[in-house]
A and B are shown apart, each in its own frame.
Chain A
Amino acid sequence: MSRTLAKLLAVAKRDLLTAVRHHGAFFVDFIGLTAELAGFYFLARAIGPNYQPDGMAYFPFILIGSAVYSFMVLGMGAFVTAVQEAQQTGVMEVLCTTATPAPTVLLLSGFSAFGRQATRSLLYLLFGIALFRVGTEANIAEAAVVLLLCFLIGMGIGMMGAAVQVALQKGSAVVWLFGTLAWLVSGMAFPVSALPPILRPLAELMPLTHCIGAMRLALMGTSSAELVREISVLSLFAVVLLPAGASLLAASIRRARLEGSLSFY
């Protein structure tokens, strides 16, 4: 356990140093984030206070939806990008010859990517709440449980994307497909009830729909029975997607070792 923790710290240190040495990246991200929040705020003002999707004002509705969406989709994207960069620089082959099994190394990179996105999303939420004075009745413990489950689901799908990246060098397509579908059906910007009936089952099958729904329930302090149901659904997704992603990633690395395509990109 302590060895795994030491490796996780080494990966996190690598990513942190790389991030802070990209001069200006933090500043650009901060401007982008502020502009996005302001855009949502003025959109909510233009829509007016009478529109209350799922029983809440529109600004907190889209603020939470966007924070969870960014956490999941950007986290997955960072995971796949880490694999892609490792392939392009040749690091992938070296990582696959260390004493740490290759899927574990990639998993740790995924942990680090999602950790960064969790921090970003938290700052995004806090900034939005403080700047635009959103009243919340947040249950921090419930929100933490939801975040953990979203993290596990994101890791599962991220590993699937990484597996596709290793096998076909097209992991970014998985993230793009997931992100686009999720934008449409997850209820990020508008409630699922606004979708045509034919798309609603797809929304139910999309883990992000439940992540966003559960986080809104946890932060806005509405129906706890509904939150329990959403947490159960999220747990089921996590139990299925995490081992499925890990198996797929291990299989794709083994296949790449057979084909000699570990460093293809």
Chain B
Amino acid sequence: MTPVVRLEQVTKVFRRRPGLLDFVGRRLAGATAALVDVSLTVQPGEVLVLLGPNGSGKSTLLKLVATMLLPDQGSVTVAGADTRTQGNAARRSVSMAVAGERSFFPRLTARENLDFFAALEDMPAQTRRQRVEWSLANSGMAEHADTLAMQFSSGMCQRLGIARALLKEPAVLLLDEPTRSLDPVAREQLLELIKQQASGSRSVLLATHLLDEAVAVGDHIVILSAGRIVAEHWTGDFSPANLREMYLHAVQQQDAVRQEVSR
């Protein structure tokens, strides 16, 4: 099967530029390697879970697939389109929802916000209306459709972010800690929705800290630490009990290597 997402030896470094005044800038200038030589593939219909501590590179990896970032080295392809050279084609196949969503127009209602983003996705007017209503219903936002976005709690904003991500029926759905602000019921509903989404040919990349969430929905788990892939497991390899062991082992091993290198 042809992978829907392919990362080949991807390195992403964030550079902090020195200030105009050298004596101030020199101290602040520097670089952080967010991802180093990362390669992975995601198959159609697969739920790939990215696990890792804070700053391990999970969000950077998702942003690279979403084309919000471009790689410094290596390549990222989405549905066969290279994000560097065919960004517009890649963007047609991918959408993303992040934790702590506040990326809405505050004086528009949930429905108006979704309708605006649907227009930018090149949807004809008729389809647009249907997709907006479908997304509102599937994210549990139908009864708040006519409420202004500025009146939403963080959990509702998060749901609206998921509704927006579902609008264009992407080949790849990227979710960055999507359950962070959700109550337990909404969390269960979202995990069910993720499973439903992946039951067709849609792939899901999910970044999370929660091991039970990874076990509940993941077909393929990638553990990141300090920007590197330190372990990779497929369904059948892991259970809730042994995933914790695998996770801690992988991260501690990586920390030990880092300390060795820095000495």
Contact = CB atoms under 8 A, between A and B. Distances in A.
Interface in B52-99: 60, 63, 66-70, 72, 88, 91-92, 94-96, 98
Interface string A118-131: 00000000000000
B243 interface: no
B257 interface: no
A22 B15 contact: no
Interface string A6-31: 11011101100110011000000000
A11 B98 CA distance: 23
B89 to A, nearest CB: 9
A21 to B, nearest CB: 4
A90 B103 contact: yes
A contact face: mostly helix, strand, loop, or mixed? helix
Interface in A1-57: 3, 6-7, 9-11, 13-14, 17-18, 21-22
Interface in B81-136: 88, 91-92, 94-96, 98, 101-108, 112, 115-117, 119-122, 125
Interface residues of A, number: 31
B234 interface: no
Given A89-B102, A259-B15, A3 B67 contact: no
Interface string A183-196: 00000000000000
A139 interface: no
Contacts of A93: 63, 68, 103
Nearest to A168: B17
B67 A6 contact: no
A97 B91 contact: yes
B70 A258 contact: yes
Which of A13, A96, A99, A105 has the most chain B CB atoms inside 10 A of its CB? A99
B229 to A, nearest CB: 20
A11 B12 CA distance: 34
A96 B68 contact: yes
A89 B100 CA distance: 11
A91 B119 contact: no
A86 to B, nearest CB: 9
A236 interface: no
Contacts of B122: 3, 99-100
B220 interface: no
A10 B116 contact: yes
B88 A99 contact: yes
A229 interface: no
Contact of A17 (B66, B88, B103, B107): B107
Contact of A97 (B15, B96, B125): B96
A262 B121 contact: no
A101 B102 contact: no
A150 B134 CA distance: 43
Interface in A128-173: none
A18 to B, nearest CB: 5
Contacts of B120: 7, 10, 95, 98-100, 105
A7 B121 CA distance: 9
B164 interface: yes
B116 A14 contact: yes
Contact of B121 (A98, A254, A258, A260): A98
B6 interface: no
Contacts of A254: 70
Contact of B91 (A3, A7, A90, A99): A99
Contacts of A199: none
A6 B102 CA distance: 25
A27 B24 CA distance: 46
A261 to B, nearest CB: 9
Nearest to B109: A17
A244 interface: no
A97 B92 CA distance: 8
A100 B92 CA distance: 9
Interface pairs A-B: 10 shortest CB-CB: A10-B119, A90-B103, A98-B120, A21-B107, A100-B120, A18-B107, A91-B103, A257-B70, A94-B103, A99-B122
16 contacts: A6-B125, A13-B112, A18-B107, A18-B108, A22-B107, A89-B105, A91-B105, A93-B103, A94-B117, A97-B91, A98-B121, A100-B121, A257-B68, A258-B70, A259-B14, A260-B69
Interface of A: 3, 6-7, 9-11, 13-14, 17-18, 21-22, 89-91, 93-101, 105, 254, 257-260, 262
Given A10-B120, A14-B112, A99-B121, 12 more contacts: A3-B122, A10-B115, A18-B108, A89-B106, A93-B68, A97-B95, A99-B92, A105-B120, A257-B69, A257-B70, A258-B70, A260-B14
